[in-house]
Amino acid sequence: MAIVTLATSPAFAPSAAAPHPRAANRFFQLTSVVLLAIVLTGFSRTFFLRSLFQVPPIAMHVYVHALAMTGWFVLFVVQTSLVAAHRTDLHRRLGILGAVLAMFLVVITAVTALGLPAHYKVDHVPNGIPMTEDGMIRIAWVNFGSVALFAILVTTALALRRRPDTHKRLMLVASMVLVGPALGRYIAYLNIWKSASSIPQFASVLLIVTTITVVAMPLALVAHDLRTARRLHPATLWATISYLPVGVGFNIIVPATAAGRALVTALQ
């Protein structure tokens, strides 16, 4: 409902917000680099640097998913850098590749998410990450919610690509949606590192910091709008309104319900 309102609202004309172009471009470029860094570090042990660690093998579709995910964030950095360099001509050409990659990413992420419960039933260390059944159910629902919201935001951003201020905000929040699993790896790695007695206390602190980071990402865009344009861009408002309930609902509320648990366990 929010997305329909977003796409049809006259407030989404290009003049809805007019931040300083250079400051705006730097913000989107820097944020894209930060998101890529989160992905690279979060999945370092289980994917990028897995040859350096003793980790279980992962399924081929997980390799494909990881490569597609990495490709998306690398392309996102390239796209924001092209805009910052005023090469919007190349940005538009690469946009075709981005649209195709986004569609493929939605499909392969859905396949990976749907296969997690069955994989967990066979191996309680799916994809190299130890987890409990409660953790598996929560991760499954987070993946379901993330891929659905990503698809909605990217589709809307592509439809509104002729409105740059709207387009880039929706693309940014769509990319933010995908980094939750990478942030979650920081917590999961503590199940592997068991050399310090302070790990339980450290895990609690890290969980709080990770949660704050997830919430703070779209709020950074809110702060950017208020600082540069003195008002909130409608795309920022609707994307944030969509982002936060999905994050809370699919991470905390839905996995705790009997129906939520039953739907995931049925996939086993």
Return the percentage of the chain with pLDDT > 90, whole number.
42
8 domain-assigned: no
**Count of domains in the chain?**
1
pLDDT of residue 201: 52
Tell me what pLDDT residue 103 has: 96
The answer to the question of residue 1 being in a domain is no
Burial 42-66 (b: 16+ CB within 10 A, else e): bbbbbbeebeeeebeebeeebeebb
The whole-number average pLDDT for the span 62-83 is 95
Q: Mind listing the pLDDT tens digit for each residue in 139-180?
A: 888 888 889 999 999 999 999 999 999 999 999 999 999 988
57 lies in some domain: yes
Residue 1's pLDDT band (cuts 50, 70, 90): very low
DSSP, collapsed to helix, strand or coil, labels residue 86 as: coil
Query: Within a domain: residue 135?
Result: yes
Amino acid code (one letter) for 139: I
pLDDT at 173: 95
Which of 68, 72, 77 has its CA nearest to residue 32?
77
Domain of residue 106, residue span:
20-265
Backbone angles phi, psi at 213, to 5 degrees: -60, -45
pTM of the model: 0.82
Which tens digits make up the pLDDT trace of 11-22?
444 444 445 566
Residue 14 lies in a domain: no
Is residue 209 situated within a structural domain? yes
Cα 156 to Cα 41: distance, rounded to the nearest angstrom: 29
Q: Which residues lie below 8 Å from residue 108, measured CB to CB, with a gap of 6+? A: 61, 64, 65, 68
Is residue 6 assigned to a domain?
A: no
